[in-house]
């Protein structure tokens, strides 16, 4: 008998929900979002990728420095 638990999550992540709100505001010309550039409206979609890439680069630099010191 196994006591393993399976969890299934569905739904939108926070960046997706923020993007949908920004998109609706931009298309409906509501508030300050109506004057934003499309780059800012799409930011919730590309910002997690940028943050992940920055973390990866910092990790790789740390790994290179660590391996150079260890020699």
Which residue ranges make up each domain of the chain? 14-70
- Note the pLDDT of residue 26: 95
pTM of the predicted protein model: 0.65
pLDDT, position 11: 64
Angle between helix 43-70 and helix 14-28 axes, rounded to 10 deg: 140
Per-residue confidence (pLDDT) for residue 6, from 0 to 100: 78
Q: How far apart are CA 19 and CA 50, in angstroms?
A: 16
Tokens representing 71? 């020699």
pLDDT at position 17 is 92
| Residue-wise pLDDT tens digits, 10-63 | 666 888 999 999 999 999 999 999 999 999 999 999 998 999 999 999 999 999
């Amino acid at each position: 008998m196994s006591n393993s638990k399976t969890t299934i999550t569905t739904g939108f992540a926070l960046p997706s929900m923020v993007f949908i709100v920004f998109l609706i505001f931009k298309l409906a010309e509501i508030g300050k979002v109506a004057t934003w550039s499309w780059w800012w409206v799409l930011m919730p979609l590309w910002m997690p990728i940028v943050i992940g890439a920055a973390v990866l680069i910092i990790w790789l630099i740390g790994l290179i420095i660590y391996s150079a010191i260890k020699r």
